[in-house]
Structure 1
Amino acid sequence: MKLYYSPGACSLADHIAMHEADMTFDRVRVDLKSKLTETGQKFEEINPKGYVPTVEMDDGQILTENVAILSWIARRKSCLTPTGEQGELRLLEMLAFISTEIHKQFGRVFKPTSDAEAAAAREKISQRFQLIGSLMKGDYLFGQDASVADAYLFTMLLWANKVGLEVPQGLADFAQRMRTRPAVQLALKHEGLE
């Protein structure tokens, strides 16, 4: 199995989650500007969407998109899903929220068409972080155990730090807790982000 990633991109969430799940996989670095893998292969031959994350299964099947990949990882390692009758649904709900309400907004911060657009996106992200901070049920999103959604949220918090976006203290503390996890440390090391 292979994880196609770009250092510090949203694929970091999948990288962390795969380590949390004790999965065995190869990592293939992708240059998102040139659209080439580290071996020189055209990345769009692997994933026509042209962006990471992408997981190539041992049988050659390709899986893309954070929500799908993180859900798949959680199914393989049930401790990465919240407990309870609606645990899978709550996980999917949070993954979709992070993807659509936070991740997507960062595109308007990283590549704005205007200062006003960037300011509006920053405000929206701040509001969404405030909401997530108020919904946390413990050390992690769903309580005392980390889920795949925590890996995604951590990645978004790294992006917030990169662009100087202040986050609620509870989320800053959460990010520090995440940094102490061996899976996070390993993924950051692999991506050269220590």
Structure 2
Amino acid sequence: MKLYYVTGACSLADRIALAEAGIACDFIRVDLHTRTTQDGASFDAVNAKGYVPVLVLDSGEMITENIAILSWIAEQSPGLRPEGPLGWFRLLEATAYISTEIHGGFKPFFHSGSPDEKARAAAEVSKRLGYLAESMTSDFLLGPNLSVADAYLFVMLTWARRNELQIPPRLEAFYQRMISRETVRTALAQEGLEALAA
């Protein structure tokens, strides 16, 4: 199995989730500027969409899009999704919200947005993080146990910190809980991001 990733990108959530699930995987770094993989292959030949993450299963089948990959991981490791009759749907609800409302909100920071665009984006992302903070009633986003949605939220918080956005205290405490996990610290080290654990 292979995961194509970019350092510090949303693919970091998949790396963390795979580690939490105990699923062995090879990780292939992608340079989106040169459109090549670390071994010099064309990334566009791997994924015509042109972005990470991409998970290639041992069968050769490919899964793209973070929500789909995280869902596949949760399917392999049911402990990484909430229990109960609506557990699966709560997971989809959370990952979709993170993807569309928070992840997408960072676009001006990564695509040379103007100062005004970045200010508006910062306000919107902070507001949406506030919603998640208010909705949390336990240590993790969907209850007392970690789910794949927490891995995705953690990466969004690394982006928020990098761009000096306001993080609600409850989510800052969540960030510290995530940092204390060996899987998270190892994933950060594997991508050369040890400073995020400081």
Alpha-carbon shift at residue 62 of structure 1 (Å): 1.0
User: What amino acid maps onto 1:151 in structure 2?
Assistant: A
- C-alpha distance in 1 between matches for 2:112 and 2:93: 27
Matches within 5 A, 1:1-194: 1-194=1-194
- C-alpha distance in 1 between matches for 2:107 and 2:91: 23
- C-alpha distance in 2 between matches for 1:113 and 1:155: 21
Larger relative CO (CA 8 A, sep 6+): 1 or 2?
A: 1
Alpha-carbon shift at residue 40 of structure 1 (Å): 0.2
- C-alpha distance in 1 between matches for 2:149 and 2:76: 15
Q: Deviations over 1:125-170 (max 9, x none)?
A: 0000000000112110012110000000000000001011110011
Q: What is the Cα-based RMSD across aligned positions, in Å? A: 0.9
Q: Deviations over 1:4-63 (max 9, x none)?
A: 111100100001000000001101011111111000001010111111100011121111
Question: Structure 1: which 5+ residue stretches go unaligned?
Answer: none
What's the TM-score, normalizing by structure 2? 0.96
- C-alpha distance in 1 between matches for 2:6 and 2:48: 16
Alpha-carbon shift at residue 183 of structure 1 (Å): 1.3
Question: Structure 2: which 5+ residue stretches go unaligned?
Answer: none
- C-alpha distance in 2 between matches for 1:82 and 1:90: 7
Alpha-carbon shift at residue 109 of structure 1 (Å): 2.4
